[in-house]
Structure formats: C-alpha cells, structure tokens
Chain A
C-alpha cells in the first residue's frame, strides 16, 4: 500500500468527523501528509455522514480516487459508499450492531468487529468510533503504543478519565482486529518524523491566519456553510489584538460594515459563500465607486440559490468577475492550495489598499474545508505579499489643512488613477465618499465630461496590474497537452498530469490564480505553445473556459476543450486521465508508454482494476 485511503461512515451526531480528525491528527504527527475531508448533510443530527482521510508519505491535495478501507458503523454507510470502495478493499463494520450486506459481488475483505460491544464495556457507546480507529491502525500496521502519547495530546484537555477510556477503546479495537482477521494486512510505508514545522490547516483557517498576519483588524460576516470557520477563527484571534469581529444580521450588512471599517482606515474584510455573495453585489459596486479598500472572501459551494450547501463547485466566477451593476475596478484572486489561501489573503489586503478597490478571494469548499498537512509557510514571503508595491500607496500623505469650507480633493484625477485617501480623523482631509458619480472632491454630479474623467480614473487603476505569480505553469516547454484550471480542481489536475508525465506524455498544467484583471499575456503564452488545451473545472457552463474565450486571442483557442463536473464532488483523477488520454491519442504517443512499464499506473500492491495513480508532490511554482 503506497498510501492510506480510508473512510469512516455513520450517522451525523455520532462523532464521525471528530474521530476522523483524531486519526488525521495521529498520522499527521507521525509524519504523513494528510488530506481529510468531511462529507456531511446540511443538518445537525442524523443522516449519513462520512469523513475521508488520505495519508501519504508525499504531499496530497486531493481526497484520492475511491476508498481502500471503509469503516462502516451502520449498513447505510456500506450502501452509500459501496460504489467508491475499491475492489479488494477492506470493509470494517460494527458486527455488534448489524450483519453487513453488500450490494453486489465486488470482491472486498469484510471484517466484522464487536465495536459497540467494546464501547459499551467501557460505558460509552460512542467510543465505538475510537475502537474502529484502533482496528484501522491494527490493519495498517500502526502499533497502538506508538500513538498513545499522541492520543493523550489529542484528548488531554478533556481530562484523564476521558483519555483513559479512549486509549482503552483504541487498544481493544486494535486487539479485536488482530484476533478476528488473519488475512493479509496492507501496511503504510514508513515515514521519518517531519523536518521543519508542519501544520494541519484548512483553507479557511489559512485565510484567517493570512488576514491576521497581514493586519486585518475587522471582520463582519454572517454564518454560512462552508465559510463559517473564517468567522470562528477570527472571532478568537482578533479581539485580543484590539480587532473587531461583528456577526452581522445579513450579508448586506456584513459587506457594508466592512466597507465602513475600510473607509475608516482598518484593514477590513467579510467572508461568505454563494448566497451571501449574491446579497453583497450592490455594496460591491459601492466599494468600487467610492474607492474603498475591502476584501471579500467567497468560499464557493454548489449553487444556484441554496443549491447543495456542503458540496463543492466553482460556479461563482462569473459573479466575482462581472457581478454588480455598472462597472468597477476589482481584483479577483483564486487560491489553488491551502498555502495559496494564506499568501493570497495577504496579497488581497495589499492590493485593496494599494488600488483602493474591492478584492475578491474566490476560495471553495474543497480548499476551505479540507484539513491538510501544510509545511514551509514562509512568513517573510507573507510580509512581502502584504507590502509589495507599497510605493504606489499615496495613502495618508496629505497637504496642509485645506481651507475651511472646502473639501479635500480625494478623487483627484491622477496619472495612475489612484489618489490620496485621507482617513476620518485626519485634519484637512474632509471629503464626501459616495456611491453617486462625483467630482474630485466627492461632490455629486452627473456632468458628462466629469463622468468620463472619473470613470477613466477608476477603471484605469488596475490597467497594468499583472503579477507574474497569477499564472503558474508546470511542465515541458512544448506540451502536447496543457490542463488549465483553478482552485479546487488543482489537486486532481496535478495528480493526473504527473501520471501522464510518468507515462512519457508531454503534459503541462496551467493554474490561474488571478482571474481579474485577467492575466491575458501570460495565459496566451502557454496557449500558443500547447498542441491541445483542456480546461478542467467544477461547473456546468465552463466559466473559466468562457473567460479564456473572451479574453484571449481567438486563434489561440481553436484547440481548446473543456472537462467539467458539477455533481458537487471532487474530480476523480482517473476521469481527468481518461479525458486527457482521449485527446492525447490524437497526438503521437509512444505505445510503450501507454502499455505499462516501471512508471505505469499499475501498482503491484493494488488490484489491477483500479485506475488510481500515485500521489505526487505538488511542485514548487516554477513559472516561466
């Protein structure tokens, strides 16, 4: 077994997620790279829920294709997850609760364990999860003793009695598996303890930390799945630093509050998901018109309307790039990884302040909510992201006090379009900020010539903004195929590309991390070099593809294809591979490379039917 693909399933409210996180934490501390993702119904109690954990000696950015080990606490968990159980995988089930039935004849190793019996023996039925974790560890060759100190760390704050019972449940589950199961046991490859500091972070937590470190001191937000963790984290982090967190009455209020705070000089943000983002459209225009720095984080989920609140989608791109009536300057960033979420949040604050406009960080449910092992967070780089182009910021450089009875020319028509921004409290800076069209003092006017000048002033601010790192290319200089994507699709694209490269194919990947202003030249450069291009994204209409088609030269788009998925689930790597192979089959591809060999897909330790690929390390951004 090259890596662990494990899932625990049961009823919501049974502690499924927390026990999944326990195992994730244990494996993380042992030195594995983990990717943990909860799949839950949008209700508090009851209903099937599961937690998927992938652990590997190498960095993982994707939950993996299928499940090798399913820990089922009820029959429903088998029924609902059966399709994803890989052939010859293992199904551990709670035999003291039910006799497992399997929908078809797919070969699996079924192991019934007295999990509830163990738990009841310890006086707490919910401990069945923990016994199941013990059984899982026994199956994959992790000695219970190794993890005991880690478990104490994990549960220590709940007191010695709780820790003791959990350790006991874990050990009994471990022994039960070894007594029950004498068949083959897959074992996880050994890892050495991590070098350097590693963190277990979700993208939402990374956004909160990035905001905190880059000086954000104001958040107004309304609770919404899957963005609420940003509110939760900052509600803890900001107040001790004198920052303010307001749980607004709705998203209309949330963005307006953040704009007020931004106007007053605080680095301010709001966080939301699709429905809330829709409610923010009018105020987004206000921030653009009044030239107020503010950061909006949209952790996308499956829409439209209420859609599928807990499911993944990348369908707010149009709204982020084009939303709100009228035309405003705005920046749209899209983190491709958890690390990106950290750095780009800092970049968002800096851009907002430099260009005095709203900046939208378009995250998504997969990046926002998946728990991942993250390493080498570079705080100095973060500081740079937070301060780049500071020279452009004329903020707070005020002339002598303006004469009484006049306003400060806040909206002066400068060459860069950016003008000095006084903060309330500052002598000599009195001006009117307004959503109406206005002259350079902020005075409302609809005079035609002024309108044209002020539109040009605002819209030209971002004309030259095109940071190199907004486009990230990995691959050969003359690719037969380039996979283009953004955000949540990054993990699957990365693994699919590596599998293709392992087979000898000349495939590159182009991740677009800044969507607006669109990095046209950098994207065109790679479109021009590629024989074929496939845009891979989680939506129905192909929103990134349409953006490419509207921004790039048409002659570069004739070979553009699209691969989309909008079922709320992450791409399977195998599906992207299949799509890519179909396209590559029209290009000359060495037959030997397709047939197998040392770098082929087939993994001797795994059943040949699976089309899973090896996990790969996400390459450092080596853009051209």
Chain B
C-alpha cells in the first residue's frame, strides 16, 4: 500500500471526476464538489482508499461525482453508515456529504452522537436552508418566517444553529465554508480531513431554484471571513478556545466563514477514534484486512473461549 512507500503517480483534481452532475445550473454544490476535488488532490488521497458516503438529497449526490468508493445510503443515516465503514477499516479516508435536511433534520440525532463519538470522519453539510429535491419545503435551518410550499404563512420554528450546536456538543473541528469561495472551502476541507477525529464543515451552498433569499449575493455580503484555516482566529487567538468560538459565532449569528474551532491535534483522541484497529484478526498486514474475517481462531483457541462457559 501507499504507506509502504510504493510510488504512485501524483493524483490531480481531475482524477476525482466521474460522470456529469445533474444539479441545476448555478447550484452551490458544484463549488463544493470542485473544492473537495482540489482538497483531495492536495492531500494526495488515493481514490481506492477513499470512501464518500452520501446522504439523501441533491447534496448527497456528490458521492456520484467524486471518483472514489461510494455509498449512497438512506435518508438521514449517512453518519452511522460512515461510522461503520471507518471502524471496520480505519485505513480508509471516509468523507460524508449531505444537506441540511439529511444532517440537521431527519439525521440530527446521529450528528450529536457522531460528534461525541469522535470517529475520524469529515462531514460536509451543504446547507441551503431549503428542501430542494422535494421541490421547496422549509428546512431545519430555514429562518423563522421563511415562506415555502409547506410554510405558506412563514415558518414558525426556530432554526437549528449548526455551528453553536457543534461547539456545544464538543465537536473537535467546526468550520463553515461558502460555495461561492471554493478556494477557501478547499483549504478548510484540507484541514478538516487532516483533523484526526470528527470534523463538521457546514457549507452555505445556495439553492438557485427554490431559495431566492439565501443567495450567493446575500451570503457574499453577510458572511464575515475569519481568514485562513490555520488554527488561529483573526485576532491571532488559537481556535481551540471553544468558549470564545461559541461567543463569536453566536454574536455573528453564525454568519462567518473559516475554521471556527479546532481541538488541539492528538491531545484527546477518544478511544473510538484511536481504535486504529481493523476489524480483522489483526494477524496479517494485508491492505484489506477486514476481508479476512478472523477465521484465524484455531480450534484450541475456540475451546479456550468455550471453557469460560463450562459453568
């Protein structure tokens, strides 16, 4: 495998392209895909050792167009699916892509537990404040008063605030990107993928068809750019000040972009993230140890296990 030093030709962003996206012209998700392909090239991710897990919705289709192993599961359960993949074979790089409906609506419970569990996943949420694929209903991040087909009198619900939620939940890496700035988003994604643990990257990604309020122009003007994704905030403070990050994000009503918080690397990886073990028998050094499921227990060893139940 590559870790053994085998020479591979350099991978370029084009190597992660596959098929032709069917998103509406102008959809923010094009920018997200482009940023992810660029980040992957910078990290020299081997496509065969990368898995993209997609949720249900327009955004989840990113898994179709990024050349890597991919799994497009059921609505709202992308994170559990990705958790199983990563824990079964931690040598894989596992990226998860979904939208605000998938991640903050039907799948919100899993997000809290994924942040708590801190398995090494990068979760990219393409947040457009609307249900696009089902043709225009308000979502969990739609602002109060937002009028849609399912909220003709305006939504009466307080929106989910994903950044504050993630900070409060103890997520180890919290960032927000903007589909209108794929270069910055790409830098954020590089940091997120490098982060050893669960990373949430919320991306404001306009739906040009069903959401005429949260547009490129609106976000371009409204978002405060926190700058580079290098572990310091604009005032030069380390981003691992979680309480400070929470205060700043809340004060800005989450209208920021950049890396908002990153827990110092290698300080407190949880047992789950550290497991670093492969769900195989641990007796070989194959690239795909998980496919050799521990038939390696000898009959004598099995007898030893059974002896525990001799009564």
Given the complex, which residues of A lie within 8 Å of B109, measured CB to CB? Answer: 249-250
Residue among B17, B288, B290, B299 with most chain A CB within 10 A: B290
Q: Counting CB contacts under 8 A, is A606 at the interface?
A: no
- Complex contact A242–B71 (CB within 8 A): no
Residue among A259, A380, A424, A427 with most chain B CB within 10 A: A424
Count of residues in A whose CB is under 8 Å from the partner chain: 79
- Which of B48, B53, B69, B290 is the one whose CB lies under 8 Å from A266? B290
CA distance A425 to B90 in the complex (A): 11
8 A Cβ contacts from A553-598 to B = none
A-contact bits for B207-244, CB 8 A (1 contact / 0 none): 00000000000000000000000000000000000000
Given the complex, which residues of B lie within 8 Å of A239, measured CB to CB? Answer: 277
Q: Counting CB contacts under 8 A, is A399 at the interface?
A: no
- Complex contact A243–B279 (CB within 8 A): yes
Q: What would be 25 A-B contacts, judged by CB atoms less than 8 Å apart?
A: A214-B295, A216-B293, A218-B84, A218-B279, A242-B281, A249-B113, A253-B77, A253-B80, A253-B113, A256-B74, A260-B84, A262-B84, A263-B81, A263-B85, A265-B290, A266-B290, A285-B74, A286-B73, A379-B299, A379-B306, A405-B17, A423-B288, A425-B49, A428-B48, A444-B64
3 nearest interchain CB pairs? A260-B84, A200-B311, A215-B293
A-contact bits for B12-50, CB 8 A (1 contact / 0 none): 000101110000000000000000000000000001110
8 A Cβ contacts from B66-84 to A = 67-74, 76-77, 79-84
Size bracket, chain B contacts: 35 or more
Q: Counting CB contacts under 8 A, is B280 at the interface?
A: yes
- Complex contact B282–A256 (CB within 8 A): no
Q: Counting CB contacts under 8 A, is A42 at the interface?
A: no
- Complex contact A264–B89 (CB within 8 A): yes
Given the complex, which residues of B lie within 8 Å of A432, measured CB to CB? Answer: 63-64, 70-72
User: Which residue in chain B gives the minimum CB-CB distance to A248?
Assistant: B80
B-contact bits for A432-465, CB 8 A (1 contact / 0 none): 1111100000111000000000000000000000
- Which of A214, A260, A407, A444 is the one whose CB lies under 8 Å from B83? A260
CA distance A606 to B69 in the complex (A): 69
CA distance A201 to B306 in the complex (A): 10
Q: Which residues of A contact B (CB under 8 A)?
A: 25, 28-29, 197-201, 205, 209, 212-218, 220, 237, 239, 241-244, 246, 248-250, 252-254, 256-268, 282-283, 285-286, 290, 373, 377, 379-380, 382-383, 386-387, 395-396, 404-405, 407, 423-436, 442-444
- Evaluate whether A259 and B81 lie within 8 angstroms (CB atoms) in the complex, with A429-B48, A435-B74 already known: yes
Given the complex, which residues of A lie within 8 Å of B15, measured CB to CB? Answer: 404
Residue among B81, B85, B112, B299 with most chain A CB within 10 A: B81
User: Which residue in chain A gives the minimum CB-CB distance to B19?
Assistant: A443
User: Which residue in chain B gives the minimum CB-CB distance to A24?
Assistant: B311
- Complex contact B71–A256 (CB within 8 A): no
- Distance of B288 from chain A, by nearest CB (Å): 5
CA distance A242 to B302 in the complex (A): 16
Q: Counting CB contacts under 8 A, is B165 at the interface?
A: no
- Complex contact B113–A198 (CB within 8 A): no
- Complex contact B293–A252 (CB within 8 A): no
Q: Counting CB contacts under 8 A, is B51 at the interface?
A: yes
- Which of A283, A387, A425, A430 is the one whose CB lies under 8 Å from B89? A425
- Which of A215, A249, A285, A427 is the one whose CB lies under 8 Å from B295? A215
- Distance of A127 from chain B, by nearest CB (Å): 23
- Which of A217, A377, A425 is the one whose CB lies under 8 Å from B92? A425
- Complex contact B72–A431 (CB within 8 A): no
Q: Counting CB contacts under 8 A, is B153 at the interface?
A: no
- Complex contact A218–B87 (CB within 8 A): yes
- Which of B71, B290, B306, B307 is the one whose CB lies under 8 Å from A423? B290
CA distance A131 to B245 in the complex (A): 63
CA distance A282 to B307 in the complex (A): 39
Known pairs A252-B76, A263-B84, A405-B67; list 12 more (Cβ under 8 Å): A198-B310, A199-B311, A213-B297, A220-B80, A244-B87, A248-B113, A260-B53, A266-B88, A266-B279, A425-B49, A425-B91, A432-B63
